[in-house]
Amino acid sequence: MLEILNISRRYGKNIVLDDLSLTVPEGKVACLVGPSGCGKSSLLRLVAGLDRPSAGEIRLGGAAISTPAKVLEPQRRGLNMVFQDYALWPHMNVERIVGYGLNRKTKKDRAHRVQELLETMQIAQLAKRLPSQISGGQQQRVAIARALATNPNLLLFDEPLSNLDVQLRLEMRKEFARLFRTLGKTVLYVTHDPLEASSFADILVVLKQGRIEQIGNPQDLFAKPRSKWIAGLAGYDNRVPAQIVGDDKNGLLSAMVGPQKVMLPASADIGSGFRGEVVLMLRPEAVLADSISPASEDALRLQGHVLQSLFEGGKWRVELDLGGGKMAAFILNERHAAGAEITIEIDPKAVLLFRP
């Protein structure tokens, strides 16, 4: 178990981590997400033992490994780290790199362990190659095999997929999900991409300005983001101002979006009885139908003039003028011509309401 207890890190007057606490139970995967500069790498460096906290304590397996007074050396912590730039030694072949930390083992045991790791990472055929002779994705697999070699109690990942192309990133996400499930290791994983994190995180930790803004499992966090900012990170790209004008008989709220009357689901802090300005946040892909099909009574329907349709590999991102200066974009199955007036039906479960 990794315990981060009231950790702060200051550089002069600049507070980079602010009294942050986080526990990652044995065998669980925690992902730190958040924008550039929110403190993700700083926290990882503290856990790795590459930096000293200004206050607080870090414990691994019950033992203190970092306090302001004492920082246990990185190599004595029983953890290993995988970096964005792989950090492979250029003059060693794959098998030597992976076996590097195993010098206490006999030659036979080391060879056996290396073979096992190469097979786990599905790179056995590359054993004799140098880093310059394999692809970026393969280099990252080698780095992971090396990190696993000494059987560490904790694995740290610092944006390991950000140097890979989109297709390979998607593949590696699946690979990580499989790997983390089968290895059962405790993992702390940093990324700026919440979608990447949500494919394998048990615990998603959203950091903002050195503090935890929200923490939970990915499904809950995506369904109930606590703030507009987190909703934006979680893919609710459309922000449309609306006016709540009354309560509807079905427990919905009647609202105006520009000149249109719509029905909105109540939210935690905007319930029955509320009147006034709200911000509606919608996922572009939350569309149930994009024809004027007979929608159910409760459906949220929005009407708009098409501004443009952009092809996104299979579907269309259609930008709509909703009237009254309100815009939104939705992912639809078909292209709609600029100027056309269309009505779309939106999944009420994928709608969030916030105070402005």
Residues near ligand ATP (CB under 6 A): 11, 14, 16, 34, 36-42, 192
320 - beta bridge partners?
306, 328
Angle CA 260–261–265, to nearest 5: 125
Nearer to ligand ATP, 191 or 309 (CB): 191
Q: Strand (E) positions, 63-183?
A: 63-66, 79-82, 154-158
Note whether 319 and 313 are within 8 A (CB). Answer: no
36/106 with CB nearer ligand ATP: 36
C-alpha 334/C-alpha 131 separation (Å) is 45
Q: Which CB atom, from 36 or from 132, has the smaller least distance to ligand ATP?
A: 36
Tokens of 124: 């056995």
Nearest approach in angstroms of CB 45 to ligand ATP is 8
Chain length of the chain? 356
Q: Please, which residue, 16 or 31, has the CB nearer to ligand ATP?
A: 16
Burial of residue 226 (CB within 10 Å: 0-12, 13-18, 19+) is middle
The dihedral through the CA atoms of 86, 89, 95, 101 has a sign that is negative
Q: How far is the CB of 195 from ligand ATP (least distance, A)?
A: 16
Q: Which is nearer to ligand ATP, 49 or 99 (CB)?
A: 49
Q: Residue 210 Cβ, how far from ligand ATP at the closest point, in Å?
A: 7
CB of 281 to ligand ATP, least distance (A): 24
- Minimum distance of ligand ATP from residue 33's CB (angstroms): 9
DSSP states of 188-232: EEE-S-HHHHHTT-SEEEEEETTEEEEEE-HHHHHHS-SSHHHHH
Whether 139 and 129 have beta carbons less than 8 Å apart is answered as no
Of the pair 192, 211, the CB lying nearest ligand ATP is at 192
Structure token pair of residue 28: 């669980």
> CB of residue 38 vs ligand ATP: minimum separation in angstroms?
4
